[in-house]
């Protein structure tokens, strides 16, 4: 009997260029990531159409689409179902499902059909210990240069936390715009972390308390960054 060997594709990592692909979606063909350059994107997978956790997630994603767009972030979904299943499921969501006060929800972002699992495999979304026939709930946050900046994988049974997905996009944009880092549970308006001092002199000066910073020790200093400044910076219109 012939043995078929499937060579595993390496998992994409933070800092890698987002693997390129062309596919069919509910909004027409997609050329990823090229057609999204200049915008942030959340590329996410779900296990299957017509399933409850996925339905709750799609309704939530679609309801938040404008808020993601306000920070120049597009949404792109994927499952290993076919296009007609996607279309029928999204129509059912719009016409029949009311969830937590959200109803008549139209999913306007593209949902990729991936019946060959080619894209799902490229992105490490098929994790056989969990399921070899369905994608796990993967989230790839990709920046305007097409670089993967954050990755989260959730199992089939666990719906995503959308506050956290928004927080990730806003925190990464803030870190890029202000050359800072963001501490645990950071939200716009909270203090941010200044990069480590490059020399003993700079560290001593910071520790002296004369600068507009709070230093917990020589390696851990924060400064204020107002919510207004964060939001007015990241919510600017993208450059054409």
Backbone φ, ψ for residue 62 (5° rounding):
-65, -35
Judged by CB under 6 A, how many residues of this single chain contact ligand BEZ? 9
222 scored as a contact of ligand BEZ (CB under 6 A): no
* Nearest CA among 153, 154, 165, 186 for reference residue 40: 165
Please say which residue, 44 or 186, places its beta carbon nearer to ligand BEZ.
Answer: 44
Least distance (Å) between residue 109 CB and ligand BEZ: 18
Question: Whose Cβ is closer to ligand BEZ: residue 54's or residue 230's?
Answer: 54
CB of residue 123 to ligand BEZ, shortest distance in Å = 18
Q: Which residues are catalytic?
A: 54
**Sign of CA pseudo-dihedral 139, 85, 126, 11:** negative
Six-digit token pair at 236?
């600017």
Task: Using the minimum distance from each CB to ligand BEZ, give the nearer residue, 105 or 142.
Answer: 105
Least separation, in Å, of the C-beta of 9 and ligand BEZ? 22
**Site map for ligand BEZ, 39-78, x if CB under 6 A?**
--------xx--xxxx------------------------
Q: Using DSSP bridges, classify how beta strands 214-217 and 192-193 pair: parallel, antiparallel or unpaired.
A: unpaired
- The string of DSSP codes covering 166-182 is HHHHHHHHHHHHHT-B-
For residue 183, the minimal CB distance to ligand BEZ (Å) is 33
Supply the minimum distance, in Å, between the C-beta of residue 163 and ligand BEZ.
Answer: 20
| Residue 192: strand pairing partners | 223
Alpha carbon distance 122, 9 (integer Å): 6
Long-range contact list for 94-97, CB < 8 A, 24+ apart? 97/55, 97/59
Q: Is 149 in contact with 141 (CB distance < 8 Å)?
A: yes
Interacting positions 130-169 with ligand BEZ (CB under 6 A): 134, 156-157
Pattern 108-137, ligand BEZ, x by CB under 6 A: --------------------------x---
Nearest CB to ligand BEZ, comparing residues 14 and 115: 115
* Spatial separation of the C-alpha atoms in residues 71 and 173, rounded to whole Å: 9
- Using only C-alpha atoms, the chain has a radius of gyration, in whole angstroms, of 21
Closer CB to ligand BEZ, 36 or 58, in the complex: 58
Contact residues for ligand BEZ, defined by CB under 6 A: 47-48, 51-54, 134, 156-157
């Amino acid at each position: 009997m012939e043995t078929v060997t499937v060579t595993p594709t390496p998992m994409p990592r933070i800092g890698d260029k987002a693997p390129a692909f062309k596919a069919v979606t509910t909004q027409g063909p997609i050329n990823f990531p090229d057609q999204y350059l200049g915008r942030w994107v959340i590329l996410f997978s779900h296990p299957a159409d017509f399933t409850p956790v996925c339905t709750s997630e799609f309704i939530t994603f679609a309801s938040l689409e404008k808020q993601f767009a306000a920070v120049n972030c597009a949404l792109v979904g994927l499952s290993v179902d076919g296009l007609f299943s996607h279309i029928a499921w999204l129509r059912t969501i719009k016409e029949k499902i009311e969830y937590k006060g959200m109803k008549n929800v139209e999913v306007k972002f593209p949902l990729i059909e991936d019946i060959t699992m080619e894209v799902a495999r490229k992105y490490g979304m098929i994790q056989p210990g969990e399921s070899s026939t369905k994608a796990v709930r993967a989230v790839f946050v990709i920046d305007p240069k097409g670089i993967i900046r954050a990755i989260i994988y959730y199992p089939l049974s666990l719906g995503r936390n959308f506050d956290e997905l928004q927080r990730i996009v806003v925190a990464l944009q803030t870190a890029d715009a202000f050359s800072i880092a963001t501490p645990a549970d950071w939200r716009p308006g909270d203090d941010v972390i200044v990069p480590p001092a490059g020399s003993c002199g700079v560290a001593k000066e910071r520790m002296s308390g004369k600068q507009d910073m709070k230093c917990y020790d020589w390696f851990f200093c924060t400064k204020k960054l107002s919510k207004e400044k964060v939001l007015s910076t990241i919510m600017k219109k993208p450059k054409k």
